[in-house]
Structure 1
Amino acid sequence: MKSMLILTDFSDAAFRAAEYATHLAPLLGAERLILYHAYRTMVVGSDVPVPAPQVENLLYIENMEKLAALQDQLRMMTDTDTKYELLAEDAFLPDQLNKLCRENEVELVVMGVAGKTGLQQFFMGSNTAQVLKTSEFPVLVVPLEAVVGKEITSIVFSTDLENISKASLEKLHHYLDLFKPEVHVINVESATEDRYSEESRKQITRLHELLEKYNPAFHYVTGTHIADSVIAFSKEHHASLIVTVPKKHSFLSSIFHKSISKELAYNSNVPLLSIPALPD
C-alpha cells in the first residue's frame, strides 16, 4: 500500500482513528501516513467562505502545528519508523477527497466517528456520512470505543445479495488476504414467504464460489432493521471488523449505509470498512 489518508478534526474520536491506523499500517504495508485536516476560512459579514489571506495564513500555521503535535504523539506509540506527511488546507473535504487520494496514491481513507457531546456527534456523523457517500476509495470508520492494536481475527461481510463488481470484490479479497480472518457473510432480509428471488440465489452461488478459498460461513438472518441485526450479529460473533460494499445509486442502500454508520458511532466498538461500488 502506497499511502493511507488519515482525516482529523483534532477531536478525541479522530485521535482514536489515527491511533488505530498507525498500529494497522505495518500490517497493510503502508509506506506513508498522510495526516490531513480540512478547514474553512470565513470573512466577517459573509455567508460563504471567501479568501481572507491573513486569517487563512494564521489558520494554516495553527493547523499545521496541531498536525505536527499529533504526529509526535503517534510516533511515541509504535516502534516502527513510519513515514508521516502533514497536510492542512482550506477546502471542503467531500469536494477535495477523491482528487487528494488520486494525487497521493491513497488506497485507504481512515476517519473517526462519534463524540462526547450531542453537537460533536452530529457533526462527526455528518462528516462520516459525506465521506462514505463521496469516496471512490475504501474508507475505514473507527468508532471511539475501538480497541487499538487488536488483531483483526474475524470479519463480518454484510451483503444485500445484489451484484458486486469484480473490482470491488478484488478490494475485499485484498484485505481478506492481508488479515487472514475468520469470515462471516451475513444477509438480512425481512420475513416473507419467498425471501430470495432467482437472481438472489444466483448471487449466493456466485459469492460462495468467489469467497471459497476463505472458507466463509454464510448466515441468512430475518430482521426489520438491517443495521441493528448486523451490529447484534457482529457482537455475538466477536467481530473485529464489519465490511460493506454499498451501492452508490441505491436509495435503500444509502439508508442502510447511513444507519450502520450511526449505529457504529453510538453502539458498537467494531470498525467499519466501506468498499465503494467500483465499475468493472
Structure 2
Amino acid sequence: MKKFLVPTDFSDTSKNAAKFAAQVAAGVKDANIILYNVSDKIAAGSDGSLLTETDDDRAIVLGTALQNLKTEIQPFAGGTSIDCVLETGSSLVENMERYVRHYHIDMVIMGITGATRLEQIFMGSNTLNMVNTGLCPVLIVPPECTFRQIKNVVLASDLKEVATTTPVEPIKSVLDIFKPTLHIVNVDHEHYVAVTDEYKAEINVLEKMLADYKPEFFFIRQYDFLEAISQYALDKNIDLIIIVPKKNSFLGGLFKTSHTKKLAYHSHIPIVAIHE
C-alpha cells in the first residue's frame, strides 16, 4: 500500500494540495490518503480573562473540518481510502516527522505559498522544513496548480558523484507511482560543444541505476538554473520536477538551499524534493 500524508490547515492552498493528492492516489493501486492536522493545546489567557473555547471544542471543530475536506476530495480519489488524523502539538513538522517514521509514509503531499517575502517566511517554512528532514519524498503543490496526468518528469542532476549522492530508491518509488517518460537534465554554464569524459562517466552510472525507466539526458548551457528549467519544462510539456537538495553543496545552481527555495516558491509545476 502507498501511504500519502497530506497536512492541511484548511487554507485554499492546502485544500488544493489535498485535491491534487486525491487525483494522484486515484491512479495508484492500493493507496491510502491521510488528511492530517496538528493543533496547539489552548493555554490560559495571559491577562486572566476567561476562555470561551476548550480543547474539546476545538477538537470537535477541527475534526468536523477534516471530515468535510474528506467529503470534498473523495470524488477525485476514486476508490482510494481517506483517513482523518487530528493531533495536538506545538510543531507541525515535528509531529509529522514522528508520524512519517511510525507509520512508514511513502510521500508527503503539501502546498506552498510565497507570493511575498512575509508569506515565504510564515507560510512556506513548514513545507521546506519538512523537505529538510529527508525522511521521505515531499511533493510540493504550487498554489492554484491543477492536476494533469503526469507523463513527463524531469530529474535535475548535477552529474557529480552520482553513485553516492543520488537517492535511487526514493526516486524509483516516485517514478513507479507515475510511470512517466524520464528526462534527466543538467544545467551548467561551462558546457561546450561536446560533453566531457567526466560527464559521460557519470551518465553511464546514472543510466544503469535508472535503466528500468529508459532515461533521456539533456544538457543546457546557462547560468540561471531557474530560468533554464522553467523554459525546458515549458518546451517539453513537463508535468513534474524531481530535485535532490544537497546539504553541503559547493555548486552554484539548483542544489544550494536558497535556489531550491526559489524554485519551490516560483514554479507553477509540482515538485518532488528528495534529499540525498
TM-score, length basis structure 1? 0.82
Matches within 5 A, 1:227-238: 227-238=226-237
Aligned to 1:243: 242
Taking the aligned partners of 1:269 and 1:94, their CA distance within structure 2 comes to 24
The CA deviation at 1:63 is 2.0
- Match runs of 1:94-243 below 5 Å: 94-114=93-113, 119-148=118-147, 150-162=148-160, 163-165=162-164, 168-191=167-190, 200-243=199-242
Q: Is the 8 A contact 1:7 1:36 kept in 2?
A: yes
Aligned-pair identity (%): 28
Specify the SS of the correspondent of 1:28.
coil
Question: How many residue pairs get matched?
Answer: 269
Residue aligned with 1:173, SS: helix
Aligned partners of 1:17 and 1:112 also within 8 Å: yes
Provide the rounded CA distance (Å) in 2 between the counterparts of 1:119 and 1:56. Answer: 30
Q: CA deviation at 1:172?
A: 1.6
The alignment yields a C-alpha RMSD, in angstroms, of 3.1
Deviation at 1:109, TM superposition (A): 0.5
User: Which consecutive unaligned segments of at least 5 residues does structure 1 have?
Assistant: 47-51
State the AA in 1 paired with 2:91. F
| Structure 2 unaligned blocks of 5 or more | none
Matched letter for residue 13 of structure 1: T
Residue pairs, 1:82-93, within 5 angstroms: 82-93=81-92
Task: Quote the offset at 1:68 in angstroms.
Answer: 1.4
Residues 215 and 255 from structure 1, CA distance in 2 versus in 1: closer, same or farther, beyond 3 angstroms?
Answer: closer
Assess if the C-alpha contact under 8 Å between 2:245 and 2:260 holds in 1.
no
Return the letter of the residue paired with 1:161: L
Q: Secondary structure at the match of 1:227?
A: helix
Q: Aligned partners of 2:262, 2:61: CA distance in 1, in Å?
A: 31
1:98 and 1:137 in contact (8 A); partners too: no
- Which SS does the other structure have where 1:91 is aligned? coil
What TM-score does the superposition give when structure 2 sets the normalisation length?
Answer: 0.83
- Alpha-carbon distance in 2 for matches of 1:216, 1:167: 15
Residue 167 (structure 1) shift? 8.0
TM-superposed deviation, 1:218: 0.9
Q: How far has the Cα of 1:146 moved from its partner?
A: 1.9
